[in-house]
Amino acid sequence: MREYATQMEAAKQGIITPEMKTVAEKEFTDPEIIRERVALGQIAIPANINHKSLCAEGIGKGLRTKINVNLGISGDANNYEAEMDKVRMALRFGAEAIMDLSNYGKTNTFRQQLIELSPAMIGTVPMYDAIGYLEKDLLDITAQDFLKVVRAHAEEGVDFMTIHAGINRRAVEAFKRDKRKMNIVSRGGSLLFAWMEMTGQENPFYEYYDAVLDILREYDVTISLGDALRPGCLDDSTDAGQIAELIELGALAQRAWDRDVQVMIEGPGHMAMDEIAANMRLEKRLCHEAPFYVLGPLVTDIFPGYDHITSAIGGAIAAANGADFLCYVTPAEHLRLPDAADVKEGIIASRIAAHAADIAKGVPHARDLDNQMAEARHRVDWEAMFQIAVDPDKARSYFESTPPSDRHTCSMCGKMCAVRTTNLILEGKKVEFCTER
């Protein structure tokens, strides 16, 4: 039996855990730096004691930006094998986390298979699962019922859980007072808001927050404090509801750390580009440097079918200015449950955003592959380029779809390739185009 209950408790005691060593190795840094920042709450290592297949990742200060892939069934699309295909896709393309957002029927069989298979972190939103798990209508669910679902997910091996504890009566007052175009767009937040309004009671995750923390501490589950009042359109960003909830989340983060429970803070969904940097700094200030997990932000509202791009633009700006964890968005966002092709597009877009931000932040070795790609392009070495590419199959298929007559060029420029021309001159050779007369 280990000497500590959670990664944070170990860090505070000066213990470097196996998970901290794994993270340090992946991040090319000293394990002691990881330990110090876990103790301060600046880095989280979501690692449930029951997730045996996990290969630990760190989220937070000074580390690579991580990405999360959402999947899971709904009442209208409940093919678990299709969801498992998405899991394999996410792992293939390097997602560090997978969230099972299933909200229909008994979901624990799929979740247990996912936890058994996945070396990536697994997250859930217990609020989504409550109705199916308990087989009760929303109004009939009690505060203690909600805690049962949290415990069930923790026992199964979930590494982090989105808990919407910040939408308490004070935050709801601010939301109601400051009229919004889109009201509440968080699924879990809307369900809790409805439950609070129908029952007249306080948010159970806020009222019984200490009991929630006790469960999470027992299994070393990281709490991801959900942003129930995140903006769902540009016009609602940085309003009273969003900021009021963020203030509550800062206080809740400190309470979790006092009980050695690791914390992430969830952030805005839709936001104009000029507001993103300030929001990242505001979260770090109000939430005491806790790791920040953002959905997007989507920087415009009028491109359904292309929201993986609007999200990647916002995600790159967010991560370059302090966000630590990006939730992917697919082309199907706002339209339907994503299929496997949508999942791939969403993952690649998020990886572009995360990688671009890591280069901007100077994360150690972030540029290594870019430098290798430049060297391969300098040599016009197509095989090396394909191997370095994040999606080598797509790169190869594009190149081969219109093959050049000369493998030292591509069909875009042919023999007028700038790289070829310059290489020939620097090698003391002539540049000739009209070799046949």
pLDDT of 308 reads: 98
Pair 260, 339 in one domain: yes
**Annotated binding-site members for Zn(2+):** 270, 334
185-229 residue pLDDT tens = 999 999 999 999 999 999 999 999 999 999 999 999 999 999 999
Rg (CA), the chain: 24
Q: pTM for the full model?
A: 0.94
- CA 263/CA 38 separation, integer angstroms: 10
Is 432 inside any structural domain?
no
Last residue of a domain, one of 307, 337, 361: 361
Domain count of the chain? Answer: 2
**Annotated binding-site members for substrate:** 70, 99, 128, 164, 186-188, 227-230, 266, 293
Six-digit token pair at 128? 């989504």
Pair 324, 407 in one domain: no
Pair 329, 374 in one domain: no
Handedness of CA 417, 418, 423, 426 (dihedral sign): positive
- CA 409/CA 30 separation, integer angstroms: 43
Core vs surface per residue 26-48: b (16+ CB within 10 A) or e: ebebebebbbebbbbbbbbbbbb
**Annotated binding-site members:** 70, 99, 128, 164, 186-188, 227-230, 266, 270, 293, 334, 410, 413, 417
| % of the chain surpassing 90 pLDDT | 84
SS percent in the chain: helix, strand, coil, step 5: 50, 10, 40
- Which residue range forms the structural domain that includes residue 403? 368-426
The parts of the chain modelled with pLDDT lower than 70 are 74-78, 104-106, 435-437
**Annotated binding-site members for [4Fe-4S] cluster:** 410, 413, 417
- CA 259/CA 212 separation, integer angstroms: 11
User: Which stretches of 31-94 are assigned E, i.e. beta strand?
Assistant: 43-44, 59-60, 66-71
73-99 residue pLDDT tens = 766 666 788 889 999 999 999 999 999
Pair 276, 379 in one domain: no
Question: Kindly report the CA angle at 356 between 313 and 305, in degrees rounded to 5?
Answer: 30
Last residue of a domain, one of 338, 361, 384: 361
Pair 401, 344 in one domain: no
Pair 322, 404 in one domain: no
48-75 residue pLDDT tens = 999 999 999 999 999 999 999 999 876 6
Is 276 inside any structural domain?
yes
- CA 344/CA 340 separation, integer angstroms: 6
Name the nearest CA neighbour of 329 among 121, 72, 90, 70: 70
Pair 283, 398 in one domain: no
Pair 195, 251 in one domain: yes
pLDDT of 437 reads: 46
pLDDT of 435 reads: 63
Is 229 inside any structural domain?
yes
pLDDT of 403 reads: 84
